[in-house]
Amino acid sequence: MFRFYCIAVAILFYFNSHAQQVIDVQHYRFELELSDNSDAITGKATITTKFLAVAGVVNFDLASIKEDKGFYAFQVKEGAQLLAATHRNDVISISLPTPARKGEVHTYEINYMGTPEDGLIISKNKHGDRTFFSDNWPNRAHQWIPCNDRPDDKASFEFLVKAPAHYKVISNGLLVSEKKLDAATTLTHWKEVIPLSTKIMVIGAAKFGVKNFTNSPKAAPVSAWVYAQDTAKGFYDYAVAVDILDYFSNYIAPFPFRKLANVQSKTIFGGMENASAIFYAEESVTGDRKWEDVIAHEIVHQWFGDAASEKSFAHLWLSEGFATYLTDIYIENKYGKDSANKRLQKERQQVINFSQERKTAVVDSTSKLMDLLNANSYQKGAWVLHMLRTEVGDSTFQKIVREYYNTYKGSNAETRDFQAVVERVTGRSWKHFFDQWLYQEGVPKVGFSWSYSGKILTLKFNPLGREYTITPELEIVYEDGKSERLAYTKNYYAGLTIKLPREKKPSKIILDPDTKLLFEKY
């Protein structure tokens, strides 16, 4: 996900009542009715649930009424049987007539109505047209649909959306049907059979122009869904998605979904990686493809974040760091190493700036989930992957990426799981590397100076002020244009002085000439 850093939103951790999984949702069926007369919606959620333990009560998340927003679950059933239920504090609590046993599968129907305060954004787009767009990340799906709103409970799902006929409706998965109910109303049915997290289950309804790109893969057709007024620019801008999808399908693995819709939307983020239906901010349509890197970032998420997901948001870097760095690799492949290094240098400075503002590690269990959308999750996560790649080499790094994805596609992982994959592929321990870069806050500070006297070149690394084991590289350049490379792996906490006999005085010495190390120079 790309986000606008001007957005300052804090969402409290919502998993207070779900510390332990009691249920595993198998499938959701959402039937919704949208209107132009009101922001209120009516809905029916049919939720098929497997029990992981004996339970006399089953809970689902849905925003309850607060002032004039929120929802009222007015009827709950299992088959034809009405069930007793309460709906308060954003939880629907259903009392079961007979306790469910471990391993049993039950299907519950929840009828509800109300007005979403969040989650489903009902507003006007930049052209003044009314639109409906889901925006679920991180745990905002329960603001408009009953669900088990946590990233590690994946389920298949479908949306049946009744809406005024002038809207086209987009969602995840494949289109089952689109039919006129009458002159004024259309019913659109989308279904996704691949289990996904609630954070990426979405619908979008707007006056769209749609283009299907004929050069897209047959197994994963690529399309653009753009406001009717923006089709010329938008179809051009989003066309790059075809080549991006093709590149990552070869670099990582075959595309994990059955289509890729690229949608101009009212998301609060720069881009939101909803599986097979990516939502981009309105501003992404420029006519000059300035958002190519954002499109690449969101497409990477289809593999990392959507198919292979983090177990909890503390490990968000497994989504955002991967999307950021694999975008860098895409830029390197298309535009050259200098372009990629410029991005990495910019990302390094973003990490440094963030480390000066907040003292927190990349793996961060903060309850303020929106605060995780920071340079640690994105840029530092990317730099961890970059340093891993420079150490193991390109082919081994690609093998690690593929192995990690193939191990966890369709499921969830945390940082130590990724570490285990790295160790399995390389055959050695990476505990110190992961502890240092992902579980320890900040970045190493490297003070470097040099002097030349009596044909002795003295290299001096000043104390770091904190314990890190790093390998800074140096390029020593002489006046005749010749150069040499040196690298020293050491714990620089106590500083280091190196004296080297050299016949000639260097004209300059460059620290980290190939942009390989995350550090702050002082």
Task: Please check the confidence at residue 8 and state whether its pLDDT lies above 60.
Answer: no
- Is the per-residue pLDDT at 234 higher than 60? yes
Q: What is the CATH number of the domain that holds 397?
A: 1.10.390.10
> How would residue 12 be classed by pLDDT, with cut points 50, 70 and 90?
very low
Beta-sheet strands, E only, within 266-386: 271-272, 277-281, 309-310
Domain-ending residue, one of 438, 462, 494: 438
User: Which range is least confidently modeled, 5-14, 332-341, 402-411, 439-448?
Assistant: 5-14
Rg of the chain over Cα atoms, rounded to whole angstroms, equals 26
> pLDDT tens digits, residue range 115-155?
999 999 999 999 999 999 999 999 999 999 999 999 999 99
Last residue of a domain, one of 375, 406, 438: 438
Helix (H, G, I), strand (E, B) or coil at 401: helix
User: Between residues 496 and 124, which one has the greater pLDDT?
Assistant: 124
| CATH number of the domain that residue 51 is part of | 2.60.40.1730
What is the total count of domains within the chain?
A: 3
Domain carrying residue 77: 22-174
Asked if residue 9 has pLDDT above 50, the reply is no
The answer to whether the predicted template modeling score (pTM) of the entire model surpasses 0.85 is yes
**CATH number, domain containing residue 463:** 2.60.40
- The Cα–Cα gap between 300 and 286 comes to 22
Are residues 463 and 431 located together in one domain of the fold?
Answer: no
Helix and strand element counts for the chain (H, E): 9, 31
* pLDDT over threshold 70, residue 15: no
Domain membership of residue 492 (yes or no) is yes
User: In terms of C-beta density within 10 A (0-12 exposed, 13-18 middle, 19 or more buried), how is residue 375 classed?
Assistant: buried
CB 439 within 8 Å of CB 363: yes
What integer best gives the mean pLDDT of the chain? Answer: 94
Give 467's pLDDT tier (boundaries 50, 70, 90).
confident
Q: Are residues 27 and 162 in the same domain?
A: yes
Does residue 272 belong to any structural domain of this protein?
no
pLDDT at 409 over 90: yes
Amino acid at 20: Q
**pLDDT at residue 46 above 70?**
yes
| 295 within some domain | no
CB-based contacts of 404, cutoff 8 Å, min separation 6: 308, 413, 418, 421
* CA nearest neighbour of 198 among 161, 265, 145, 256: 145
The pLDDT confidence band at residue 491, using thresholds 50, 70 and 90, is low
Identify which has the larger pLDDT, 388 or 521. 388
Q: How far, in whole angstroms, is CA 60 from its chain's centroid?
A: 24
Q: For residue 478, what are its two tokens?
A: 């002489």
Q: Are 419 and 430 within 8 A, CB to CB? A: yes
Please report the DSSP string for 247-293 in residue order: HHHHHT-S-SSS-EEEEEE--SSSEE--TTEEEEEGGG--SS-TTHH
**In a domain? residue 468:** yes
Please check whether residues 478 and 357 belong to one and the same domain.
no
Q: Mean pLDDT over residues 30-49, rounded?
A: 98
Percent of residues, the chain, with pLDDT higher than 70: 95
Whether residue 490 has pLDDT greater than 90:
no
Domain finish residue from 139, 174, 209: 174
| 385 and 480, same domain (yes or no) | no
The whole-number pLDDT of residue 20 equals: 67
Nearest Cα to Cα of residue 265 among 226, 236, 233, 304: 226
